[in-house]
Structure 1
Amino acid sequence: MELHVVINGRKDLAGQLYNQLRSAIESGRLAAGTQLPPSRLLAEQLGISRKTISDTYAQLTYENFLTGVIGKGTYVNTRPAKNQPKQSHSQLASAEVIESWRNLPVFLRHPTLEGSLRYDFIGGATSKGQFPQDDWRRCTSHALRQIAGSKGFYSYAEGLPALRNAIARHIAFSRGVNCQDEDVVVCNGAQQALDLISRVMTRPGSLVAMEDPGYPPARLLFGTHGATVVGVPVDAEGIEVDKIPDGTRLIYVTPSHQFPLGVAMSQARRVALLERARELGAIIIEDDYDSEFRYEGRPTDSLQSMDEHGIVAYVGTFSKTLLPELRLGYMILPPAILEAVVRAKQLTDLHTSTLPQWALAKFIAEGCLLKHIRRCHAIYAGRRERILSRVAGDLSPWLEAVPSVAGFHMSLRCKVPIDMPLLVELAKKVEVGLYPIEPFYYQRAPQDGLLMGFGAIETLDIDPALDRLRDILQQLS
């Protein structure tokens, strides 16, 4: 390591060295576990005797600042934490702003390995065992070779050209999205896409309309930008377009697999939504988060494919098709906002990490993504059928499924009054994770029901978990 020590003159050499080393350790500049240079090397670098170095190391070791490991060297010791009182957020000039962030509710946080339940119907998560590790490892090796051959400069804010081309080809084929490479912006998951679009489209007081019930992280994000979020009811055909208020600048929808209910927006409602947005001068955010998994009927094209006026910003993610930990998403932006969003992206993080971008570009180009989606589709279809069979069978006295044909979660409505907090608590006691849909409602009166994710629970675990759910429902009855 490189140690910064300055010796002035020839007086009290040991004292100078001692004071500088001790100060560096106490301030944290020399962190616990840092190895110090051997005494012979440091003596040569500073032009002082080796004995002076050794005596100083010995004194600091005696005072517990350093520790010696035989055969390895001298290391900075772990220091006890100082109990100096730190300034609280309430004492800062920005206390009100900080408090508003501290008070934001936490939604959809996935449990850690230690805190997870044996049977978990959590939404938005996939079975890690399905991830094609060997293919991804090979693509990552390719990515490392690409980076090794680069000049080491910052990359494109809008994403690597190779990945933008791969995404444009993939979604044109799988979702009917009408785009060119230059329309694609790569981002750190769909959440960053929502943040960037909101940054350039809203100011404090701007109206944002979104489905109610809907996706809470989107609603909270729009709110942190100062926007006034209006919840618009959802029926069997999707968002009720005629209830989108005048003055709305941004409309957030999940038309292919409404979150959380799962209904698909009808063709007539899609036409009406596009017309309403054009009248308002608003941009529609189409969050197409998991509709590549479709189980019934012909695939529905994206809302973006119907857009003739450049008012739909299409947002996609690889968190659902691959892994949430990758944090890779993308936007297909209309010309009116493309340049502004790229500028916002550049100011926010310069660009998304290029290592996963290179790997994903090769992964898609070689057909690995489509192969993975087909394999997972068969697995999720089996899980979905098993849940639907049980809901139509022994769980039918209490629950009914909301019609849904895509994704890897479904909603179950309560047919009779059920104490949902008690149900969730009792289920935890028998290692079953259940999630009510009530928190997803915003301004509408919530309905009782469950969001049943089947992406993360193994197929063979579904029946044992639903057996336990049935037994609890019988007890509550």
Structure 2
Amino acid sequence: MHLQLDNHGPKHEQLARSLRQAIRSGQFQSGSKLPSTRMLSENLGLSRNTVLRAYEQLRIERLGVMREGSGTYVSDVPLPHGPVMQPRRVEAQSAYAARLRDLPPLTLGGAGPALRYDLQYGAPLVNTKLVSAWSSALATAAARTNTGYPHPQGLPELRESISRFLATWRGVAADPRDIVIVSGTQQALSLVSRILLDPGATAAMEDPYYELASHCLRAHGADVVGVRTDEDGLVVDELPSCARLVHVTPSHQFPSGRTMSLSRRQQLLRFAEEHSSWIFEDDYDGELSYSARPIPALRSLDTGDRVVYVGSFSKMMFPSLRLAYVVCPAGLRKDLVRAKMLEDMGCPAIEQAAMHLLFSRGSFDRHLRATVLELRRRRSALFAGLERHAAGRIQADDSRLGMHVIGWLPDFDTPRLDRLMESARQQGLGLHPIHPYYREPPPRLGLLLGFAGLFPRQIDAATKILGDCLQALP
């Protein structure tokens, strides 16, 4: 708190002017408590009577209100709105800043008005049992966790838990010493880019692609090359031989939903060996398999230690947790840990300890199994709703994995798709096109239909609106 007296007039008037200016400038916000008269008199070297008279002046001006036994509070006074000053134009101060400015706008998860139903990809699945288990684990972790800086690589007990989890659910034999805890897949890619890519190095990505991954690579100065995908996944024969890093989502290609075939996986691993390339495997929702035999991760086939495997708790828990993990090739471990240390000194230890408790108590395993069952119900509701309300007008791909499917729209052009989305929005339904994720325009247009954030009855209502909008289109 900084209050300056102007030495003009009686002390209480000087103090009242200073407080008045502090309130009107926002230093003291509406509803906030003003300092006690004793504290203010001691800090400013004034008598308490002087401070009391200044506070009384504020009350007369209706800038302050006294609450018996509590003190004086700032009234709900609207702040004056001065002219809006345009920010001064400043040129990019570094090559990195220039690259950031050159990035195109994101289309994933637009911040539009809230809608009654939104088939948005990535909406979290709310589970009250998980909330209760997490709250309990967090409270226990807060009481027991060492208050010092955590190791930048992550808590050893959490890395042990993740190692066991990956062996059971993803077929990955991961040495805990090669696991690094990070704050999300996006940070993982940023750190990996720093230790593998110099500006101008070639990074290959699937087409279609995940926008934030492309933005990250481009921001770090990589020459990003899109590579076509087909029914078997990434077309390895079309990879540039100079590719230093290959970013893939082999278990559930985002956003097309396709799964990379075994032969393509083996071909990609051979490519990495032959060209001394590295593979960044983003296994963003590989645990969510609706097949009897889950698809193992690409890393499980990697005998040459060329795959940087990344998994996240954003889909299984909630995005605000900001915890993920990297299984890195042993030769890159030291570099990655140092990069993480310089980035933020390590992820919060209390959240890491709480996550370990979920594993050790069996809560995470139970939650994951329940999540797969519930998502299967919602996915079935989506297919049933599309069949009931939009049969013949939309063709849904069945990837049998993840939290979204693709609904292709035969004979649609972009203006017609825009009309469909606007019509749906007016009826409270959010629809999201898939074509913005393609570097080369897709042969047909479609919708990315996320189903995790809605209950089955809501999904049925949403598909009913979709069917009505399709039927009404000329």
Fold match, TM over 0.5?
A: yes
Within the candidate set 346, 353, 356, 1:351 is matched to 346
Query: CA 1:461 to 1:36, structure 2 compared with 1: closer, same or farther past 3 Å?
Result: closer
Correspondence 1:179-198 to 2 at 5 A: 179-198=174-193
Which stretch shows the higher mean deviation, 267-276 or 363-372? Answer: 363-372
RMSD: 3.1
Aligned-partner residue type, residue 182 of structure 2: C
Candidates 446, 450, 464, aligned match of 2:447: 450
Q: 1:421 and 2:418 equivalent? A: yes
Shift, 1:265, TM fit: 0.6
Partner of 2:319: 324
CA distance in 1, matches of 2:324, 2:238: 30
Instruction: Indicate the SS of the match to 2:461.
Output: helix
Counterpart Cα distance in 2 of 1:95 and 1:329: 29
Q: SS of the residue aligned with 1:322? A: coil
Which runs of structure 2 are paired with 1:136-151 in the superposition (5 Å)? 136-147=134-145, 150=146
1:261, CA displacement in angstroms? Answer: 1.1
* Corresponding position: 1:167 with 2:162: yes
Q: 2:438 aligns with which of 434, 437, 441?
A: 441
**Which residue in 1 is equivalent to 2:373?**
378
Shift of 1:136: 1.6
Task: Tell me if structure 1 keeps the 8 A contact 2:119–2:430.
Answer: yes
Q: Percent identity?
A: 36
Compared CA separation, residues 393 and 42, structure 1 to 2 (3 A): closer
Taking the aligned partners of 1:28 and 1:433, their CA distance within structure 2 comes to: 38
Question: For the residues of structure 1 that align with 2:365 and 2:44, how far apart are their CA atoms?
Answer: 61
Contact 2:308 2:328 in 1 (8 A): yes
Counterpart check, 1:387 vs 2:382? yes
Does the 8 Å contact 2:229/2:235 carry over to 1? yes
Q: For 2:41 and 2:89, locate their aligned partners in 1 and report how far apart those are by CA, in whole Å.
A: 49
Aligned-pair CA distance for 1:417? 2.8
* Aligned position for 1:72: 70
Question: Which ranges of structure 1 fall in alignment gaps of 5 or more residues?
Answer: none
Q: Distance in 1 between matches of 2:402 and 2:348?
A: 28
CA displacement at 1:455 relative to structure 2: 0.9
> Is 2:92–2:98's contact at 8 Å kept on the other side of the alignment?
no
Which position in structure 1 is the counterpart of 2:116? 118
SS of aligned partner of 1:139: helix
Distance 1:109 1:400 in 2: 23
Q: Which residue of 2 aligns with 1:283?
A: 278
Which residue of structure 1 aligns with residue 51 of structure 2?
A: 53
- What's the offset of the Cα at 1:267? 0.6
Q: Distance in 2 between matches of 1:385 and 1:82?
A: 53
Query: Match of 2:132?
Result: 134
Distance in 2, Cα, partners of 1:285 & 1:20: 58
Distance 1:387 1:446 in 2: 24
Amino acid at match of 1:265: M
2:82 is matched with 83
User: Who is 1:109 aligned against?
Assistant: 109
Report 1:244-255 matches (<5 A).
244-255=239-250
Deviation per CA, 1:204-238: give whole Å up to 9, x if none. 22211111011111111211112121111110100
Contact 2:435 2:441 in 1 (8 A): no
Give the number of equivalent residue pairs. 469
Give the distance between the partners of 1:458 and 1:266, measured in 2 at CA: 32
* 8 Å CA contact retained: 1:212, 1:444: no
TM-score for the superposition, normalised by structure 1: 0.88
**1:224-373 correspondence runs (5 A):** 224-373=219-368
1:474 matched residue in structure 2: 471
| Residue pair 2:411, 2:444 contacting (<8 A) in 1 also | no
SS of residue in 1 equivalent to 2:449: strand
The CA deviation at 1:287 is 0.6
> 2 CA distance for matches of 1:434 and 1:327?
27
Compared with structure 1, are the counterparts of its residues 40 and 259 closer, same or farther at alpha carbon in structure 2 (3 Å cutoff)?
closer
CA contact (8 A) 1:65 1:79 kept: no
Aligned residue type for 2:435: E
Instruction: State the AA in 2 paired with 1:105.
Output: P
User: What is the CA-CA distance between 1:23 and the residue it aligns to?
Assistant: 6.8
CA change 1:339–1:63 in 2 (3 A) is farther
TM-score (norm 2): 0.88
Query: How far is the alpha carbon of 1:173 from its aligned partner?
Result: 1.1
Residue 402 of structure 1 corresponds to 397
Of 202-211 and 438-447, deviating more is 438-447
CA pair 90-67 structure 1, distance change in 2 beyond 3 A: same
1:238–1:263 Cα contact (<8 Å) kept: yes
The 1:257–1:131 alpha-carbon spacing in structure 2 relative to 1, beyond 3 Å, is farther
Q: CA deviation at 1:175?
A: 0.3
Gaps of 5+ in 2: none
CA contact (8 A) 2:206 2:229 kept: yes
For 1:132, what is the secondary structure of its paired residue? helix
Bigger drift between 289-298 and 168-177 goes to 289-298
Tell me by how many angstroms 1:416 deviates: 3.0
Partner of 1:220: 215
What CA distance in whole angstroms lies between the structure 2 residues aligned with 1:37 and 1:390? 60
Secondary structure of 1:140's counterpart equals helix
1:93 CA drift (Å): 5.8
Give the 3 Å change call, closer, same or farther, for CA 406–12 of structure 1 in structure 2.
Answer: same
Change (3 A) 1:120 1:53: closer
Aligned: 1:412 with 2:407: yes
- 2:105 alignment partner AA: P
How many Å apart are 1:66 and its aligned residue? 4.7
Conserved in 1, the CA contact under 8 Å of 2:394 and 2:408?
yes
Cα deviation, residue 380, structure 1: 1.5
Work out whether residues 127 and 458 of structure 1, in 8 Å CA contact, stay in contact via their aligned partners in 2.
no
SS of aligned partner of 1:229:
strand
Aligned CA distance change for structure 1 residues 6 and 400 (closer, same or farther; 3 Å): closer
Q: 2:106 is aligned with what amino acid?
A: V
Comparing 390-399 with 444-453, which one deviates more in the overlay?
390-399
